């Protein structure tokens, strides 16, 4: 498509070569399609199992709406299976749940007249939402008592009046990692929500709360401080009475995932680790409702459990990720009678909600659609929502599960998305998509997003390859630990070995390979553009690492980096940190690299991108390099404009260097096509 750009009255028109608005194959997905994709967000089945509340995530239309994050509507599926909007439009409903008697949906929102985030309820029969309660600086989490008469609310305390007065005078300095405020827990009477109630005297900062089924205790996840490192590594379960006194504890080591009381309150199932050095929570544990020791119910699982709920007093429902697939299973609280309820290739469960009567509702994606609501009934899984009817009109690319051997013989899995126009005997350009973490993995479901636009790339004649390199989850604890303490070593060799596998199959042109990814995937992209520069013709690095020494000193997760990634501090092994840093190899870089980063990223400080940019541009013969910083964005883009800009720049960079003439970077300006 030829677009014209005018820089003022009477100016000459620049040709389309300076600007970029992508066009996909006639029946494939466009970047505009990807930007408009809707999907189901949070899911909560009512306790009686009759209704399903959920949020619908709706991207903003930049042609008609102000920029910002996607909207989040509240919708409900009734017993007949019909879905209707309860709260729609330009809204952001979140943290949905139910009153224990199933009479009303509960949610958090900040509506007209609210000073901060408030807990609301909305009758399942419809009508107006009513305020329930708010405390502190706004509700951040909640749990109702079984009789529905009280609610436990999590919030931070307001600043003292003298501090507010100082800030009004301009004293807004930040005392780094010292002026944090703990999150407190209030227990509020629903009939008198405005009554003065003091927070419970709990040592530490409260992250999550669940009221016991008997109504006499609270299970609370507590951290020593309200810092990200603590919330990742040091959440511990405490059992409290209603006055806040500790009556039991579960001293789980390391990371903590989902957890839930059994219907009778005798047990707590939780997802945790067996060592503080495990890279990711993923073990299904059960402990007494009084606290104490726990039992690993699936000690031999070659995968990771990330979702858990109780189907009955003795039976636990769970979702495990095994390889690139997902499994819905149940197991008794004593570890017996494990049964797989559903496992189907290409059906990826990613959320779980169970009613009091045992009805199982799931969020799931497939290779044909993003997350939708599914229900497990009568031995089968039925899809209940259709968020993007127009997807049926698009030709979607073939998606293949591939397995290859790394150079040391370790088996690696990945997912390959094929070009729509594939012809036997012809080789194609490849975009290698590297996941973050590295304690994460790709599943054989929907893979297309604003930063990894697989179906658009396929329509443009690319292969896209998503490898689960060593250190990924989904293959069990042992596999996840194979790269621990060895950053950028065998784990990134696995990426190159995957490319070689595809070249040897006669699918990919080894001279036209690009690499991209975010966070740890951005680190891999920087590694591909420096250490492995001879292997990649283009790189797009997103919120990535370039200097391991500076990374640990500027990130908000230094303990997590030490305990589950490096296992050593820089001053104990400067050489390892230096040689695992892409900037160490800047002088050998020849790969054109586009560097993208949110300028408010607390996880990977944007100096990581600035350092790489500066080191590369200071070389005598620098490669093509561009740095783009997104104002106000953090560890990944949330705003519609930032996402659209990212998608355009990613594909233009790949097209320019993998399909075009290359050379100097394309013009830094874009035509966004919004007129």
pLDDT one-digit tens code per residue, 354-404? 999 999 999 999 999 999 999 999 899 999 999 999 999 999 999 999 999
Query: CA 521 → CA 21, 451, 527, 551, distances in Å?
Result: 26, 12, 10, 15
- The yes-or-no verdict on residue 82 having pLDDT over 60 is yes
More confident site: 252 or 473 = 473
Mean pLDDT to the nearest integer, 433-454: 97
pLDDT band at 1 (very low <50, low <70, confident <90, very high): very low
Domain covering 135-164+178-251 in this structure, CATH number = 2.120.10.30
Judged against a pLDDT cut of 80, whether residue 555 lies above it is answered with: yes
Q: What is the mean pLDDT of residues 216-229?
A: 96
pLDDT reported for residue 294 = 95
So what's the pLDDT on residue 195?
Answer: 83
User: What average pLDDT score do residues 610-619 get?
Assistant: 98
Q: Which residues pair with 627 in a beta bridge?
A: 595
Q: From 409, 404, 590, 660, select the one nearest 507 (Cα to Cα).
A: 404
Q: What is the pLDDT of residues 247-259, one digit of tens each?
A: 999 998 999 999 9
E strands within 182-312? 183-189, 205-211, 217-223, 236-241, 246-250, 259-261, 267-272, 283-288, 294-296, 304-310
The CB-side HSE value for 622 (13 A sphere, CA atoms) comes to 15
Q: Please, which pLDDT band fits residue 470 given cuts at 50, 70 and 90?
A: very high
Confidence at residue 391, expressed as pLDDT on a 0 to 100 scale: 96
| Contact (CB, 8 A) for 598 and 543 | yes
CA nearest neighbour of 39 among 316, 371, 440: 371
Those residues with Cβ within 8 angstroms of residue 198's Cβ, 6 or more apart along the chain or in another chain: 186
Query: Which pLDDT score, from 0 to 100, does residue 433 have?
Result: 98
Supply 654's token pair: 């790949």
pLDDT score recorded for residue 2: 24
Summarised one tens digit per residue, pLDDT across range 496-543 is: 999 999 999 999 999 999 999 999 999 999 999 999 999 999 999 999
Q: Please check the confidence at residue 79 and state whether its pLDDT lies above 90.
A: yes
Does 313 have pLDDT greater than 80?
yes
**The architecture CATH gives domain 400-659:** 3-Layer(aba) Sandwich (3.40)
Question: Which residue in 462, 610, 593 sits closest to 527, CA to CA?
Answer: 593
Classify 111 as helix, strand or coil: coil
Buried b vs exposed e over 293-309: b needs ≥16 C-beta within 10 Å? ebeebbeebebbbbbbb
pLDDT (average), residues 194-200: 88
- For the chain, the residue count is 675
pLDDT tens-digit map of 23-75: 444 489 999 999 999 999 999 999 999 999 999 999 999 989 999 999 999 99
Backbone angles phi, psi at 217, to 5 degrees: -140, 165
Among 305, 601, 632, 631, which Cα is nearest to 436's?
601
Q: Please state the rounded mean pLDDT for residues 151-156.
A: 96
- Radius of gyration, alpha carbons of the chain: 26
Rounded to whole angstroms, the Cα distance separating 552 from 558 reads 5
Beta bridge partners of 331: 316
Task: CATH 3.40.50.1820 in the chain: give the residue spans.
Answer: 400-659
Q: Kindly state the DSSP code that residue 397 receives in the 8-state scheme.
A: P
- pLDDT at residue number 485: 95
Q: Looking at the predicted structure, is the pLDDT value of residue 213 above 90?
A: yes
Fold of 253-394: Neuraminidase (2.120.10)
Pair 138, 83: CB distance under 8 Å = no
Over 90: is that where the pLDDT of 6 sits?
A: no
The pLDDT tens digits of the residues spanning 522-534 come to 999 999 999 999 9
User: Average per-residue pLDDT in the chain?
Assistant: 93
In order of 11, 13, 17, 675, the CA distances from 6 in angstroms are 6, 6, 14, 13
Q: Which residue has the higher pLDDT, 9 or 675?
A: 675
Task: Give per-residue pLDDT as tens, 596-605.
Answer: 999 999 999 9
Neighbouring CB atoms inside 10 A of 670's CB total 18
Q: What is the pLDDT of residue 94?
A: 97
Residues of the chain with CATH 2.120.10.30: 135-164+178-251, 253-394
């Amino acid at each position: 498509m030829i677009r014209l750009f005018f820089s003022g009255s009477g100016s000459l028109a620049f040709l389309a070569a300076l600007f970029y608005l992508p066009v996909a194959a006639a029946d494939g997905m466009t970047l505009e399609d990807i930007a408009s994709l809707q999907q189901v967000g949070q899911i909560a089945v009512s306790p009686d199992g009759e209704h399903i509340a959920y949020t619908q995530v709706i991207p903003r239309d930049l042609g008609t709406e102000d920029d910002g994050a996607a909207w989040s509507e509240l919708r409900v599926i009734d017993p007949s299976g019909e879905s209707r909007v309860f709260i729609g439009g330009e809204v952001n409903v979140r943290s949905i749940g139910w009153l224990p008697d199933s009479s009303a949906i509960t949610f958090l929102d900040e509506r007209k007249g609210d000073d901060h985030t408030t807990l609301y309820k909305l009758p399942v029969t419809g009508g107006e939402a009513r305020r329930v309660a708010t405390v502190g600086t706004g509700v951040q989490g909640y749990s109702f008592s079984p009789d529905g008469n009280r609610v436990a609310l999590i919030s931070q305390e307001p600043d003292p009046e003298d501090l507010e007065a100082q800030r009004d005078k301009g004293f807004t300095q930040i005392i780094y990692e010292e002026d944090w405020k703990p999150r407190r827990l209030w227990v509020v009477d629903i009939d008198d929500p405005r009554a003065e109630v003091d927070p419970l005297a709990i040592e530490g900062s409260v992250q999550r709360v669940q009221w016991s089924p008997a109504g006499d205790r609270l299970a609370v996840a507590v951290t020593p401080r309200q810092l990200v490192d603590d919330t990742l590594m040091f959440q511990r379960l405490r059992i409290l009475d209603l006055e806040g006194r500790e009556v039991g504890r579960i001293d789980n080591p390391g990371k903590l995932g989902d957890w839930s009381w059994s219907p009778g309150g005798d047990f707590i199932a939780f997802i945790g680790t067996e060592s503080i050095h495990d890279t990711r929570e993923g073990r299904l544990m059960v402990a007494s409702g009084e606290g104490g020791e726990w039992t690993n119910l699936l000690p031999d699982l070659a995968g990771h459990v990330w979702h858990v709920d109780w189907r009955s007093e003795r039976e636990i429902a769970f979702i495990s990720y095994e390889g690139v697939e997902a499994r819905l299973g149940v197991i008794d609280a004593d570890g017996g009678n494990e049964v797989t309820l559903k496992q189907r290739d290409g059906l990826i469960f990613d959320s779980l909600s169970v009613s009091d009567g045992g009805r199982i509702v799931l969020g799931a994606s497939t290779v044909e659609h993003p997350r939708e609501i599914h229900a497990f009934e009568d031995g089968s899984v039925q899809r209940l929502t259709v968020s993007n009817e127009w997807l049926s009109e698009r030709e979607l690319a073939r998606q293949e599960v591939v397995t290859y051997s790394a150079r040391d013989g370790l088996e690696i899995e990945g997912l390959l998305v094929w070009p729509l126009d594939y012809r036997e005997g012809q080789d194609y350009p490849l975009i290698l998509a590297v996941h973050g973490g590295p304690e994460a993995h790709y599943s054989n479901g929907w893979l297309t997003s604003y930063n990894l636009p697989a179906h658009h790339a396929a329509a443009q004649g690319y292969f896209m390859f998503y490898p689960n390199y060593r250190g990924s989850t989904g293959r069990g604890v042992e596999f996840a630990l194979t790269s621990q303490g060895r950053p950028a070593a065998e784990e990134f060799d696995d990426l190159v070995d995957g490319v070689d596998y595809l070249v040897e199959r006669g699918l990919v042109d080894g001279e036209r390979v690009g690499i991209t990814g975010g966070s740890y995937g951005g680190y891999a992209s920087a590694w591909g553009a420096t250490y492995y520069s001879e292997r990649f013709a283009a790189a797009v690095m997103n919120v990535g690492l370039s200097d391991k020494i500076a990374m640990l000193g500027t990130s908000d997760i230094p303990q997590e980096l030490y305990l589950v990634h490096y296992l050593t501090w820089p001053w104990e092994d400067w050489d390892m940190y230096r040689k695992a840093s892409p900037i160490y190899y800047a002088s050998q870089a020849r790969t054109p690299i586009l560097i993208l980063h949110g300028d408010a990223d607390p996880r990977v400080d944007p100096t990581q991108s600035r350092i790489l940019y500066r080191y590369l541009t200071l070389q005598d013969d620098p490669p093509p390099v561009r740095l783009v910083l997104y104002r106000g964005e953090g560890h990944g883009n949330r705003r519609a404009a930032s996402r659209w800009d990212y998608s355009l720049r990613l594909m233009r960079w790949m097209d320019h260097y993998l399909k075009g003439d290359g050379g100097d970077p394309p013009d830094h300006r874009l035509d966004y096509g919004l007129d």
